[in-house]
Amino acid sequence: MTPEHKDKALAAVSFFDRLPAPRRAELAAKAEAAQLPAGFPLAERGVPATGLQVLVEGQVRLFLPPEESTIDIVGPGSLLGECALCDDARHPVSAQAISPVVILDLRAEDVWPVLLAETDATLALLGAISANLKGLLGRVNDIKLRTTAQRLAMFLVSLARQPSAVDRAANGPAEGIILTLPYGKKLIAERLAMTPESLSRSLARLGREGVRAVDRTTVRIDDLDALALFAGLLPEEENDDDALHRAQGYWR
């Protein structure tokens, strides 16, 4: 990966996009790029973290061993290993690639001088940590207040807001849209705090709301607005990135 590509990847992360271009270019020159296969372990809970990782391509699952309960699934533009900059620099969760990934590794000792010199970057990092906590609390609230079918509906609505997930839009509204699921149903079920059996029942329930499974990896939604209403999304939440991202599992 060229220095220019590294710099562009860093700029896609809210923490690094606050940096003056020369500062970011300096960090990009020190970052080590790596291409890793699906299944590769990126972090182990309780093990000291030595640096930050920027996810450039692919998806990573965050989970709690030994039960391997899925906490989150993150995509490109995500920052991992922020704990390396904290007093207790131990990974709070384990991380594993669920697809081939490209990451940038940054040593903590290379990032610290930037934090000390650039106030905006420090505030951005604090903001990202706060957003993660807010997202976690929001998901706990969703589990308590929304049914499994509503959580699945919310997930599908969030997915429909991602252009890359829409296989095709029909010529007319009656045809609906067809979505590609970003990962397997087992992971989706874990991410939404339900069993695979509950996911199947919830999908069947959503048939009354105009949702149909096309095959194992795609679903069709006849009326996205009606599905959002069933999910219990308030009008202001339909355009709320926090609400939609926590449903899909992406923290930005």
Q: Are 58 and 102 in contact (CB under 8 A)?
A: yes
Q: Are 162 and 219 in contact (CB under 8 A)?
A: no
Phi-psi region of 236 (alpha: psi -120 to 50; beta: other; left: phi over 0): alpha
Which tops the pLDDT comparison, 142 or 18? 18
| 97 plus 59 within the same structural domain | yes
CB atoms within 10 A of CB 138: 16
Any idea which of 54-68, 113-127, 190-204, 233-247 has the lowest mean pLDDT?
Answer: 233-247
CB atoms within 10 A of CB 38: 12
102-117: average pLDDT: 91
231-235: average pLDDT: 70
Output the CA–CA distances (angstroms, integers) from residue 17 to 5, 59, 113, 123, 219, in the order listed.
Answer: 14, 21, 16, 12, 35
| 107 plus 195 within the same structural domain | no
Report d(CA 216, CA 9) in Å as an integer.
32
Give the domain extent around 54: 3-141
| 56 plus 85 within the same structural domain | yes
Indicate which CATH number applies to the domain containing 180.
1.10.10.10
- Helix, strand, coil: what percent of the chain each, to 5? 45, 20, 30
- Tally the domains of the chain: 2
**Domain closes at, from 124, 141, 158:** 141
pTM over 0.85: no
Output the CA–CA distances (angstroms, integers) from residue 232 to 18, 25, 159, in the order listed.
Answer: 35, 44, 16
What pLDDT sits at residue 151? 92
The pLDDT confidence band at residue 164, using thresholds 50, 70 and 90, is: low
Token pair of 87, please? 């007093």
| 87 plus 203 within the same structural domain | no
Output the CA–CA distances (angstroms, integers) from residue 109 to 17, 67, 106, 121, 195, in the order listed.
Answer: 19, 33, 9, 15, 42
Query: For all residues of the chain together, what is the average pLDDT?
Result: 84
